[in-house]
Amino acid sequence: MKRIALLGMPNTGKSTLFNRLTGSSARVGNWPGVTVDLLMAKVLLGVDMVEIVDLPGIYNLHGFSEDERVARTFLEENPVDLLLVIANSTQLDRQLALILQLQALELPMVVALNMDDEARRLGIQVDTALLTRELKVPVLSISAKQGFGMGRMRQLLTDTLAQVGTAKSADLNRVFGDDDALEARLDQVFRSAVQMPLTATDRLTDRIDRVLLHPWFGLPLFFAAMLALFEAVYTLGAPLQEGVAWLLQTIKTEAVEAAVAEWHPMLQSFLLDGIFDGVGTVVSFLPIIVLFFLFMAIVEDSGYLSRAAFLMDAFMARLGLDGRAFVMQLMGFGCNVPALMGTRVMRSRGLRLLTMLIIPFSLCSARLQVFVFFISAVFDPWAAPLVLFSLYIMSFAAAFLTALLYRGRLANQDPLLLELPPYRFPTLPQMWLRGWREVAHFLREASGFILLGVVLVWALTHYPADVAPAGPETLAGQLAALFAPIFAPLGIDHLMTIALLFGFVAKEVVLGAMAVIYGAGEGELAGIVAGSTDWVQAYAFMLFVLIYTPCLSTVAVLKQESKSWRFTALAVAWPLALAWLLSFTFYQTARWLGF
């Protein structure tokens, strides 16, 4: 099978092109010689099945960031039939250098000039035919966002692959030669093939930035936009979530219960109260998670996320971080794991470790479903977005406190280099694909933990069989009694304690575990929790879930990326201690005030 390596600088639309070429068929693969996972997908080009590998965005092959080392190692250790290099048509004066470096590898190559629509709007003209002759490689203008030129791109890749010989690895010694000669060659190619107007700025972007990047109003506007996002998620997602819960309950009562009516009572309980209620409660919140990712895709793909990093950079610098750390925190809203892997762009080890220490405080999708459930069950509808927004603020506060305490031990010497792309509104297919991929990732990564977790919880709450389920005499009750002195001062009862213990494995299990413990589906569970938990207990519980020890997947990545057991132990123990302290302080203070 032939292999194409997709390369390009950050913010060139590489991920969008990868998605256009592969659809949603991408999977993560582990490669020889590379210590991290890379996205890959198999696609049909002509009559041949071809493997496309999405390498990290890099600025050049001379760099020393983790991402640049990953790209170099992959090219050296793995045979490649074709390099597909993507560049931003509006920034060819800067991006031709990488193309010339890669050309020096003497591997078959195709160049895709992306964002052709933006270049035309700015009056930038690129002579692709002349550029093809100058570079002696095929060059094609495309717009991966709009889909323009993708048919010709597929055909060009098919034709080029048909002409290449045996796949080979790169000889990187070729690119470490005369940089002055490369600079002169870049200037010659750019002047001959690209016509730039005297002023090539996006006036709309400039006008918007005068407001959104205002030194006084920029940050308040950003947090107001995030609050509006949460309001929209709740307003649109609550009816969808109720509809899914109603559908699941109907399936349970009309189909599943009838199908198992003749089964042994213990087996019925295992299927209905264990697997169906546990997994079904988690599934019922997927519409809200989908909407959250759709709206976050708009924020990220529009270019606003880079502005948030710029706005926060001065503040983050006081904590020993920079604006990129803030962006990684926002990435952690989806899942902490890819956010941790994203720190590879940081060259300073101190900055990278400090950023990795604060990322697990990000309110990920697994925690989100727990909070949505508790907020919907306990708080009034008008307060729901404010409560959720307050939890996001608390996640940032915990991260900033951590950075402040550990910045002296994890010093940063890495200057911030940040690009502010023009504002772009993502297309509807882009938004849907992004939302679907995030939810698919959530289900793929969490389904095993959820199923295993609800089965274990059911077993602990129903054994021994001759006592009341979830009672103090069951294994779960005995386990909860053991930890009662720790959690009772936080207002967390013995049943919620069991759910928290399983949350150490994966936060996705917490809600499913509660459904099994209380023996109720999503609709019934909300009523039970509302009747047994007041808002102070609920908020203290959510604070603990927000901050305490990250899930096992996150812990594994922390060890992989830091290569230090000592740092990993710190990243596990410190959030646990901080979670207990904050929850204790909130609960006891609220009770002292009479709430």
Domains of the chain, residue spans: 2-195, 220-592
Predicted local confidence at residue 446, as pLDDT:
59
Predicted local confidence at residue 86, as pLDDT:
93
Q: What is the mean pLDDT of residues 116-129?
A: 85
pLDDT digits (tens, 9 = 90+) for 487-541: 999 998 877 888 887 777 667 677 777 777 777 666 677 788 888 889 999 999 9
CATH number of the domain located at residue range(s) 2-195 in this protein: 3.40.50.300
Predicted local confidence at residue 443, as pLDDT:
67
Q: What is the mean pLDDT of the chain?
A: 80
Q: Answer for the pair 87, 113: CB distance below 8 angstroms, yes or no.
A: yes
Predicted TM-score (pTM) of the model is: 0.65
pLDDT digits (tens, 9 = 90+) for 252-282: 788 888 888 888 777 877 787 777 776 776 6
User: Which residues partner with 77 through β-bridges?
Assistant: none
Q: What is the rounded distance in angstroms from the CA atom of residue 462 to the CA atom of residue 469? A: 5
Q: What is the rounded distance in angstroms from the CA atom of residue 429 to the CA atom of residue 150? A: 15
Per-residue three-class SS string for 462-504: CCCCCCCCCCCCCHHHHHHHHHHHHHHHHCCCHHHHHHHHHHC
Predicted local confidence at residue 281, as pLDDT:
67
Neighbours of 204 (CB within 10 A): 11
Q: What is the mean pLDDT of residues 383-389?
A: 87
Residue bearing the bigger pLDDT, 59 or 485: 485
Q: Answer for the pair 363, 329: CB distance below 8 angstroms, yes or no.
A: no
**Nearest by Cα to 54 from 32, 35, 70, 76:** 70
Q: What is the rounded distance in angstroms from the CA atom of residue 547 to the CA atom of residue 578? A: 7
Q: What is the mean pLDDT of residues 414-442?
A: 69
Of 302-311, 365-374, 378-387, 412-421, least confident by mean pLDDT is 412-421
The DSSP secondary-structure symbol of 82 reads E
Predicted local confidence at residue 270, as pLDDT:
78
pLDDT digits (tens, 9 = 90+) for 166-207: 777 777 666 655 666 666 777 777 777 777 665 555 677 778
**295 band by pLDDT with thresholds 50, 70 and 90:** confident
